[in-house]
Structure 1
Amino acid sequence: MHRILGHDKSLIICENQFFLNDFINFLKDKKIDDYFVLNDLEVLPYDIFSPHQEKLSSRLETMAKITSEDKIIVLATINSLIQPYFDKNSFNSFSYEFSEGDQLDRNHLINSLSKSGYKASEIVSERSEYAIRGSVIDIFPANSNLPLRIDLDDEKIESIRIFDKDSQISFQTINKYKCRPSKGFELDKEAIALFKKNWRREFNEDGDFFDQVSKGKFPEGIESYFPLFYEKKPAFEDFFSLFSIFSYGKVDSGAEKYWELINRRFEDFISDKNRPPLKPKLLYNDPAEVLKNHEILPVKKEIETTSGVNKEAEVEKNLNQNQTTIDDFNEFTIDKKIVHSNYGIGIYKGLKNLNNTECFVIEYEGEEILYIPVDSINVLTPYVGNQDIKLDSLSKNNWKLKKEKSEKKAYDIATELLEAEAKRKIEKSEQLIIPDQDKYQAFKDGFGFSETPDQAITISQVIDDLSISKPQDRLICGEVGFGKTEIALRASYVCSENLKQVCILAPTTLLARQHYELFKERFKNFNVKVDFLSRERSQKEKKIIIDELKNGDISIIIGTHSLLG
């Protein structure tokens, strides 16, 4: 350790994430926490999807620290160091400083944020998002762990507050803050012109991707074209020329495997006219340059390699508890559907060794094949649902569209729930009590069984809900036969005793009729009229039942969705 601490600037290159996690644990044991991790972007080479914004922001911040700190320890996997860098001259090309009492031009702010890769959003919950609601501007800076809320008085900044992204409640006031770029560069006229010039130097045709960038947009996967936005490709030496460099694990072997994967992926995408891939040497950093001068650190015995294979199972205890482990392979069954977070639903075809890299094989529509290295298992989950669902396609955009549609639907549902809860907090409901405990005991005796502990607790909670002025909002979950219907019966009794009407909605006519027979039997000695409404009823019967409901003659009505018509 003294060899590392004896230098002002040290870079530790780790073979993979296992070795990096182990080295972090080693530093923790030595009570050393003053270090930075240059994280992996966690996308496949030439991926059409962008890395998660958290990964981009963390990488950008660490690279900024590398250029500004006089004394620093940096940890990185060999894959991370081979991946594209930001241009260090562009770190401060976009910055927008907010200070209390300053004037703020909202139009100029929106334009600046958009050109730097920030996205407009209804609610700010992730880095590089912003929302404007009248005189309130919410921004989640790429270089911040928490979002900011700016209150304006006309065009004057009245206050700047930090708020919680989950509760959206502000909790601290600050005087000023400087936003950094989201993508490492600003997509202004100069950047677009430079991109066009560099693109046409490398490719013969323009294509859809070229058109999107030319219009000032940040398309998915723009990171695979980073060098085209700079006059000169950022290189390893630009950042680490003054560092003492150490390696931990078989970094040469790791670099060789990753470089082979990069070249295979390049060949896979080389025929794509809309998104032609840059040559590996133009986009990625040459492993030979990264590893040309480094000191090898001794590896702890429990993670030393034998015959070129890491004993990863032996160091599993040192890994982050949230990391997916090899045990999760058992969740995948050959010829069963599987979901990739970026590419959608395919069929798992087993494992295949490609140039000493173990990969999952996934087949998509049109017999398209995707190979996923096993260390990227976190992007895969077993498919659960309708087995007749159509497979997604690697060459089409249908999965992305489905994801966007689902996210929008989820947002709409969340909005409705929030609105309902807001109304529920404002509104008052009549407090329902049990007027005659002896009579209620007689009704309980009709159950004929002993209540389970969970059932007794839930019944008590539901009755308590009915006794307060806030409208009830409770979901009862349980397996078939665990007594959910009895809970509904007890709640219906309390309501009917307080001269309130009850509606029991069932998903099928058969279940609705079964409930009707049970409710009618349980309430037959309590002067409570129970009735049943479904498609089985004639129009004449339906009219009579509806009239009795309106008149209050029916206390409990049971039926299917026809009750809502």
Structure 2
Amino acid sequence: MLYTKIASHLEDSAFFRDLLPLREDSQIYHLSQSARALVAAHIWAKTGKNIILVSQDDIIAEDLWDDLVSLVGKDNAFYMPDYEILPYEERSPHYSIRATRMITLLNNISSSIPAIYSLSIRSFLRLIPSRKILSSHIFQLKKGDELNPDELLQRLQNMGYEIEYQVSTVYQAAKRGGILDLFSPPSLHPVRIEFWGDEIMSIRSFSANTQRSISQELGEITVIPARELSLDDVDSGSVIIARIREKGFFEGIENYYSLLTKDLSPFADYFEPDKRIFIFSNYSYVVEEMEALIEQTHSQYRKELKHGSKGKIPKVKELILSEEAFFKCKKQSDNFYLSQSEFVLPGIKENIRAPFSGQPAFEGDLGLFSQSLANKRQQGWQHYLLFDNASQEKRMRQMIGDSVPYLSHIGVLHEGFELDDAKLGLYTDHEIFNRYKRKRYAPRFAPGETIIDYENLKPGDYVVHVDHGIGVFEGLKIIKLDGQEVECLVLRYANDDRVYVPTFQLSLVSKYVAEEGAAPALNKLGSAKWQNTKHKATQQIELIAADLVRLYAERGSRPGLAHSPDTEWQKELEDSFIYEDTPDQAKAGREIKDDMELPSPMERLLCGDVGFGKTEVAIRAAFKAVNSGYQVAVLAPTTLLAEQHYRVFN
């Protein structure tokens, strides 16, 4: 951990020696983002308390967490992303966001060791099921345990797991005879549990790609919920219990937690007030974002009241903390204010300027860099150079030799800096060469044709209902259903017939997609035409599926080339690329190399826009083939493009 390496140097800094205890009415400024992470790490190390580091948005919160992992290690720093959904939006967060949140909550529940939690003000304000509720659905499974596998599968489903025939991603479960597979995020791979009757005989990890075991027996696994609320916790008197019974976990259920249980709290209440410290990064911006979110939520609530039943729409105070509740929560614990600029904050009586300077700009000039380090070394300075990987560190040694003394560390910050009063410099490799450290991208949602926001529909739009076929959207109407007012979409069909679709059944309706200007014929309710159309489409799909099954069965029966696993040369090549992989690049490269190691033919199409790193992935695959003793042919449609690829590969 970087913090452990530099802790003794921080003792030479009057700023860090006098940092604690800090007066409540003080603000520390002149701190870059990475310097703020260092100060937060120091407060955590010296106080032995949980640190809740609050930023204005999730991008900064995630970057701070990234720096904290380099400083204190991944077991001591956690990121609590927001749902990334709007108030009252009929959409649930991506499974990767849910998994990250659950791992963070798991650490809070299962570990007594204080840690640092980085989150945005939106994540801070959001009300979630309490620690008591969540902890009741985290459990362990080990060899020799006795439990009914069918009951375990039902429990997993109630916790939000998708029941599939085969497990391929997190939060899925599958059962075949006495075998139960599940993928719970604390595990890096899905696990296969073998039962003999009701007794667990073995637990093994397996590959989601090959479905083959990849480990010896595991002694124990931890299972966490896929959702922050289990269906077992739903109040039977909930006003939306009918919707729960019909659909289970519907899209946007996170915005309806208050209608399902009254036991909600902000994430901050997962900690005892005297065992937590709030650190606010650029507090002025945090307050601005809080006020904007509260106003946005009130505005959306008023909008929802016009369209739906008042009793079935959570109030604003049931979704997020009010401004008054935020300040009340804040006053219960110690607070630190860290900022880049000297903001004017209410109640702040003293502004303390931190003795930090930014990393000098060398613009890739290694001569200038070496001379600067040598000069500062004569003045008593100590420098750490931070690298992404060992290959970068090795390359730096080769370029500047051993004449320039420095200490190295594998694990980089977003920004290098100098701590002037300790004569300590932390320089990043990517800034020395004027490279950009790529941030990790937020999960991207694949846009489906299913209607998520009916406000995007306009009267006169053509739509398709799963059961009734092509109709015309006419607008919204409140009707009474089982004695309750329900908002419905009005769809007009042939002969001026109408169908009323409750908004909680929007998944049955999708926009009609055709060539621009094409006007389809409306289906007639009750006629066999739509059912015949669906039947023909189903038959065609089955024919295509049969052809694909036959094709892949034939391909799978043919012997292929099983390439050798990655070598040290492969790792050195991949570490030598200037930029960090995007998540999509890493995933594509990993899957391609996994396929290459299988003894069956591979056929893959790698798609991506210009400049998104397709060639880098191809170079990795080509090098792997060469390492296995084979030649590689790169085919291009034109001589110009072939020459371009030659230069890149060269």
| TM-score (structure 2 length as normaliser) | 0.48
State the percentage of identical aligned residues: 21
- Distance in 1 between residues matched to 2:603 and 2:191, nearest whole Å: 32
Alignment-derived partner of residue 221 in structure 2: 177
Amino acid at match of 2:50: K
How far did residue 220 of structure 1 move?
2.3
Distance 1:144 1:400, change over 3 A: farther
Describe how 1:78-89 pairs up with structure 2 within 5 A: 78-89=121-132
Using the TM superposition, give the Cα deviation of residue 283 of structure 1 relative to its aligned residue in structure 2, in angstroms. 2.3
The 1-side partners of 2:147 and 2:545 are apart by 32
Asked whether the equivalents of residues 39 and 80 of structure 1 are also in contact (C-alpha less than 8 Å), the reply is yes
Partner of 2:596: none
1:148-547 mapped onto 2 (5 Å cutoff): 148-172=191-215, 173-188=217-232, 191-192=233-234, 194-196=235-237, 199=238, 206=239, 209-214=240-245, 217-235=248-266, 238-240=269-271, 241=273, 242-249=275-282, 250-270=285-305, 271-273=307-309, 276-291=312-327, 292-293=330-331, 295-300=335-340, 317=436, 320-322=439-441, 363-366=456-459, 417=548, 420-426=551-557
| Native 8 Å contact 1:92 1:180 kept in 2 | no
Change in 2 beyond 3 A, CA 1:418/1:4 = farther
Q: Please tell me whether the aligned partners of residues 62 and 79 of structure 2 are also in contact (alpha carbons under 8 angstroms).
A: no
- Partners of 1:472 and 1:146 lie apart in 2 by 23
Gap change, CA 1:391 and 1:118, over 3 Å in 2: same
The alpha carbon displacement at 1:287 in A equals 3.8
Which deviations, in whole Å up to 9, do the C-alpha atoms of 1:249-279 show, x marking residues without a partner?
2110011111111112212222313983210
Tell me which of 82, 87, 95 is aligned to 1:53.
95
2:160, 2:128 → 1: CA distance?
17
Q: Distance in 2 between matches of 1:113 and 1:19?
A: 34
1-structure distance, mates of 2:551, 2:206: 23
Residue 195 of structure 1 contacts residue 228 of structure 1 at CA under 8 Å; is this kept in 2? no
**Is residue 16 of structure 2 the alignment partner of residue 16 of structure 1?**
no
| Contact kept? 1:236, 1:285, Cα under 8 Å | no
Structure 2: tracts of 5 or more residues without a match: 1-38, 345-413, 416-434, 462-471, 477-488, 490-502, 512-533, 561-599, 608-650
Q: Within 5 Å, which residues of 2 pair with 1:547-562?
A: none
Paired residue type of 2:121:
I
Distance 1:412 1:229 in 2: 44
Rounded to whole Å, the distance in 2 between the matches of 1:259 and 1:476 is 43
Corresponding letter in the other structure for 1:424: R
Distance change (3 Å), C-alpha of 1:167 and 1:9? same
The answer as to whether partners of 1:11 and 1:245 remain within 8 angstroms in 2 is yes
CA shift, 1:230, in A, is 3.3
Match of 2:165 in 1: 122
Superposed CA deviations along residues 104-140 of structure 1, whole A, max 9, x for unmatched, are: 4222223222222222112212322211122321112
Q: Is the 8 A contact 1:345 1:392 kept in 2?
A: no
Query: For structure 1, which runs of at least 5 residues remain unmatched after alignment?
Result: 200-205, 306-313, 326-337, 348-361, 369-389, 430-469, 478-565
Q: 3-state DSSP class of the match of 2:251?
A: coil
The letter of the residue matching 2:176 is: R
Q: Which amino acid aligns with 1:365?
A: K
Indicate yes or no: 2:97 matched with 1:63. no
- Indicate the residue corresponding to 1:133 in structure 2: 176
Residue 127 of structure 2 contacts residue 319 of structure 2 at CA under 8 Å; is this kept in 1? yes
Change in Cα spacing, 1:272 to 1:339, as seen in structure 2 (3 Å) is: farther
Query: Which stretch shows the higher mean deviation, 82-91 or 269-278?
Result: 269-278
Q: Distance in 2 between matches of 1:139 and 1:32?
A: 28
Q: 1:28 Cα deviation (Å)?
A: 5.4
Pairwise CA distance, 1:221: 1.9
Q: Could you tell me how far 1:285 is from its partner in structure 2?
A: 2.0
Task: Tell me the CA shift for residue 237 of structure 1.
Answer: 5.3
Could you say what the CA RMSD is over the residues aligned between the two structures, in angstroms? 4.6
Letter in 1 for 2:325: E
Change (3 A) 1:300 1:186: same
1:123–1:410 distance in 2 versus 1, CA, 3 Å: farther
Name the SS for the 1:184 alignment partner: coil
Output the CA distance in 2 between the equivalents of 1:178 and 1:212.
Answer: 31
The 2-side partners of 1:262 and 1:411 are apart by 46
Deviation at 1:161, TM superposition (A): 1.1
Residue 59 of structure 1 deviates from its aligned partner by 1.6
8 Å CA contact retained: 1:25, 1:318: no
Deviation for aligned residue 1:427: 5.8
CA distance in 2, matches of 1:182, 1:134: 24
User: Match of 1:440?
Assistant: none
Q: Distance in 1 between matches of 2:602 and 2:256?
A: 54
Name the aligned partner's letter for residue 225 of structure 2.
Answer: P
Letter of the aligned partner of 1:41 in structure 2? Y
Given that 2:69 and 2:77 are in contact with CA atoms closer than 8 Å, whether structure 1 keeps it comes out as no
Amino acid at match of 2:278: I
Q: Which has the larger radius of gyration?
A: 1
For residues 97 and 293 of structure 2, what CA distance do their matches in structure 1 show? Answer: 19
- Name the SS for the 1:107 alignment partner: helix
The CA deviation at 1:226 is 1.6
Query: Pairwise mapping of residues 85-100 of structure 1 onto structure 2 (< 5 A)?
Result: 85-95=128-138, 97-100=140-143
The 1:41/1:475 distance shift into structure 2, 3 A limit, reads closer
Aligned residues of 2:459 and 2:473 also touching (Cα < 8 A)? no
**Distance change (3 Å), C-alpha of 1:10 and 1:53:** same
Relative to structure 1, the CA distance from residue 28 to residue 234 in structure 2 (aligned partners, 3 Å threshold; closer, same or farther) is closer
Q: Is the 8 A contact 1:49 1:342 kept in 2?
A: no
- How many pairs were matched up? 366
Contact 2:206 2:213 (8 Å CA) reproduced: yes
Higher relative contact order (CA 8 A, sep 6+): 2
Q: Over residues 515-552 of structure 1, what are the superposed CA-to-partner deviations in whole Å (9 max), with x where a residue is unaligned? A: xxxxxxxxxxxxxxxxxxxxxxxxxxxxxxxxxxxxxx
The offset of 1:473, in angstroms, is 7.1
Give the AA of the match of 1:11: I
Q: Give the C-alpha shift of residue 156 in structure 1.
A: 3.7
SS at match of 2:231: coil
Deviation of 1:222 (Å): 1.8
The separation in 2 between residues aligned to 1:185 and 1:21, in whole angstroms, is 24
Distance in 1 separating the partners of 2:303 and 2:325:
25
Contact 1:227 1:234 in 2 (8 A): no
